[in-house]
Amino acid sequence: MTFDPMMVRPLFPALNQHINQQPILFFDGPGGSQVTQSVLDAMNHYLGHYNSNLGGAFFSSVETSALMATARHAAQTFVNAPSASNMIFGANMTTLTFQLSRAISRDWQKGDEVIVTALDHYSNVSSWQQAAEDKGATVHQVRINKTNCDVDYEHFDALLTPRTKLVAITYASNVTGSLIDMQRIITAAHAVGAKVYVDAVHYAPHRLIDVQALGCDFLVCSAYKFFGPHLGIAYIAPQWVQSLRPYKVEPAPNDGPARFETGTQNFESLAGFIAAVDYLAAYSRTLDTQALSLRQHLRRSFDAYQTYEQTLSRYFINKLHRYNNVQLFGLPHEQHRTPTFAIRINGTQPADVAIALGKQNICVWHGHFYAQGLCEQLNLIDNGGVIRIGCMHYNTFDEIDTLFKALDCDLTLK
């Protein structure tokens, strides 16, 4: 059985609403996805019954501590970490990265080097530039290969030296959808003794993460990009959980993942996150009655989402090929990419296109999406950036047809 988005669309209240008597087309997924009723119910239930804190002797606190443990376990399963104690939570990916960059850079000194990339969202660039500046370390930025909007691997190889302390790199571009050959990056970085910090924010809704297969040192993602609430999640490899010294308040725990978690956690978001992981696994449960683990269900579900998303990509790109006044930034086929497309239409500004579509309830983003290096290299930064059309597994072929019809009428795509 192949994945059909009509099976899951009824589960998402936002997908079934009308504004001005018109349906809404959500092509804004890379900026934040919609959530299922089960996610809303889980958050509502926690706040309505238990809203509390950790470590108390009474029922609501006991429930909160149990919720925290379940969330860590869900996060462990989601990324295939060796243990739940490798997983930490925070406000979002950016805040977690600034926090972790403080701890990771504590022993850096003048002469040390850090590698970031021009493909990355700047949450994974500025945090390292500022940490390096504080320690007198040098930052190198890997160029992109302008033809396919991938990282320039040869440039990466040339920048990597035994002085490299850290490589910070995205797993997938939030603008062009390009997937990175992470195994290649990690093998090369580890060969010179550098740690690897992976930004999996754009990757997470589209492909199943496996930190043990990757062997990365750190990996971060954000639940609001994969059908959950606003919540940052980080994986820390076992060798760094106790050996790093995070900035923390003195009485807070000194052991385990809690030493990285500043202040009170967003427990309602943790409840929603658990429900989002369950939602992602649920498709596999509809296939048969096999008794599989949560991870195995996630594996089968993601395989189906990936296959479906590739057909969406092919469909979108084939339609795009019919026009000769549209420029696609990124891979012109469905392989090695997510269904996220960065385009420009000759003679129009991305903002104007997004406004025209927005008036018809078609949600697309425009701009540079904090991928400053990429947009600078493509000379798009002072020029309005791109129109980003992002599909999730809940998007349909009909929606793509409607989008192109709107573009045809309003913007005279030719």
Ligand X SMILES: Cc1ncc(COP(=O)(O)O)c(C=O)c1O
Which residues bind to ligand X, rule: CB under 6 A? 92-94, 121, 123, 170, 174, 199, 201-202, 222, 232
Question: Shortest CA distance to 356 belongs to which of 401, 407, 391?
Answer: 407
- Residue placing its CB nearer to ligand X in the complex, 338 or 361: 338
Beta-sheet pairing, 326-329 with 340-345: antiparallel
Distance of CA 196 to the CA centre of its chain: 17
Minimum Å gap between C-beta 175 and ligand X is: 8
Minimum Å distance from CB 370 to ligand X? 7
Given the complex with ligand X, which of 92 and 402 has the nearer CB atom?
92
Of the pair 132, 180, the CB lying nearest ligand X is at 180
Minimum distance of ligand X from residue 207's CB (angstroms) = 13
Q: Tell how far CA 217 is from the center of its chain.
A: 17
Smallest distance, ligand X to C-beta of residue 27, A: 15
> Do 264 and 53 contact (CB within 8 A), yes or no?
yes
Q: Containing H/E element for 219? A: strand 218-222
Question: Considering beta carbons, is residue 119 or 160 the nearer one to ligand X?
Answer: 119
Q: Cβ closer to ligand X: 93 or 219?
A: 93
Instruction: Pick the closer one to ligand X by CB: 225 or 300.
Output: 225
Work out how close the CB of 366 gets to ligand X at its nearest, in angstroms, rounded to a whole number: 14
Count other C-beta atoms under 10 Å from residue 257's C-beta.
21
Q: Which is nearer to ligand X, 217 or 304 (CB)?
A: 217
Distance CA 393, CA 208 (A): 14
CB of 254 to ligand X, least distance (A): 27
Cβ contacts of 325 within 8 Å, gap of 6 or more: 345, 346, 347, 413, 414
170, 120 Cβ separation under 8 angstroms: yes
User: Smallest gap, in angstroms, from Cβ of residue 373 to ligand X?
Assistant: 12
173 or 284, CB closer to ligand X?
Answer: 173
- Choice between 64 and 385, CB closer to ligand X: 385
Count of C-beta atoms within a 10 Å radius of residue 39: 26
Given a contact cutoff of 8 angstroms between Cβ atoms, the answer to whether 38 and 272 are in contact is: no
Give alpha helix (H) positions in 19-83.
37-49, 59-79
Nearest residue to 166 via CA among 200, 134, 192: 192
We find the least distance from the C-beta atom of residue 266 to ligand X, in angstroms, to be 13
Cβ neighbours of residue 28 under 8 Å, at least 6 residues apart? 363, 364, 365, 390
320 CB-near residues (< 8 Å, 6+ apart):
326, 328, 341, 343
Sequence length of the chain is: 414
DSSP letters spanning 80-95: T-S-GGGEEEES-HHH
Beta bridge partners of 144: 151
Q: How far is the CB of 94 from ligand X (least distance, A)?
A: 3
